[in-house]
Amino acid sequence: MTRYDLVIRGGTVATAADVTTCDIAVCDGRIVALGEDLGPAEEVIDARGMVVTPGGVDAHCHLDQPTSDGSRFADDFASGTISAAFGGTTTVIPFALQMRGQNLRDVVADYHAKAAGKAVIDYGFHLILSDLTRPEIMQELPALIAEGYTSFKVYMTYDDLKLSDRDILDVLDLARREGAMTMIHAENTDCIAWLTERMLREGKTAPLYHALSRPAAVEREATHRACTLAEIVGTTALIVHVSAGEAIEQIRAARARGLRILAETCPQYLFLTIDDLGGPGAQGMKCICSPPPRDKANQELVWRALADNTFDILSSDHAPFSFDDAAGKQRRGPDTPFTHVPNGVPGIETRMPLLFSEGVLKGRIGLSRFVALTSANAARIYGLPRKGSLAVGADADIVIWDPEREVMITNGRLHHRADYTPYEGRMVTGWPAVVLSRGTVVCRDGALLARPGQGRFQARSRPLTPATGGAADGYRGRPRG
Ligand SMILES: [Zn+2]
DSSP assignment of 314-375:
E---B----SS-TTTT-EEEET--GGGSPP-B--TTTHHHHHIIIIITTTSS-HHHHHIIII
Q: How far is the CA of 13 from the centre of ligand 1 (A)?
A: 33
Side-chain-facing half-sphere of 130: CA atoms under 13 Å = 18
Distance CA 137, CA 145 (A): 13
User: What Rg do the C-alpha atoms of the chain give, in angstroms?
Assistant: 21
Distance CA 164, CA 92 (A): 29
Q: Which amino acid is at 155?
A: Y
Percentage of the chain exceeding pLDDT 90:
92
**pLDDT single digits (tens) 288-316:** 999 999 999 999 999 999 999 999 999 99
Average pLDDT over residues 332-345: 96
Contact, 31 vs 392, CB < 8 A? yes
Q: How far is the CA of 476 from the centre of ligand 1 (A)?
A: 33
Helix axis angle, 216-233 to 189-201, nearest 10°: 160
Domains plus CATH for the chain?
A: 4-54+390-448 (2.30.40.10), 56-360 (3.20.20.140)
Contact, 214 vs 246, CB < 8 A? no
Q: How far is the CA of 76 from the centre of ligand 1 (A)?
A: 19
Distance CA 435, CA 4 (A): 18
Contact, 465 vs 380, CB < 8 A? yes
Helix axis angle, 296-307 to 245-256, nearest 10°: 30
Q: How far is the CA of 253 from the centre of ligand 1 (A)?
A: 22
Residue 478 clears pLDDT 80, i.e. is over it: no
Q: How far is the CA of 473 from the centre of ligand 1 (A)?
A: 33
Give pLDDT, residue 471.
Answer: 41
Q: How confident is the model at residue 474 (pLDDT cuts 50, 70, 90)?
A: very low
**pLDDT single digits (tens) 137-180:** 889 999 999 999 999 999 999 999 999 999 999 999 999 999 99
- Residue 242, classified by CB atoms within 10 Å of its CB into exposed (0-12), middle (13-18) or buried (19+), is buried
Distance CA 216, CA 195 (A): 13
- The DSSP call for residue 396 is -
Q: How far is the CA of 240 from the centre of ligand 1 (A)?
A: 7
Give pLDDT, residue 477.
Answer: 62
Q: How far is the CA of 155 from the centre of ligand 1 (A)?
A: 7
Average pLDDT over residues 74-82: 98
SS3 400: strand
Q: How far is the CA of 25 from the centre of ligand 1 (A)?
A: 39
Cα 420–Cα 402–Cα 317 angle in degrees, nearest 5: 35
Q: How far is the CA of 287 from the centre of ligand 1 (A)?
A: 15
Residue 68 clears pLDDT 90, i.e. is over it: no
SS3 4: strand
Give pLDDT, residue 159.
Answer: 92
Task: Return the beta strands (E) in 147-286 as ranges.
Answer: 151-155, 181-185, 237-239, 261-265
Lowest mean pLDDT across 67-76, 196-205, 289-298, 371-380: 67-76
Q: Which amino acid is at 356?
A: F
Q: Which amino acid is at 94?
A: P
SS3 463: coil
Q: How far is the CA of 412 from the centre of ligand 1 (A)?
A: 27
b/e string for 109-124 if b means 16 or more Cβ within 10 A? ebbeebbeebbbbbbb
Q: How far is the CA of 241 from the centre of ligand 1 (A)?
A: 7
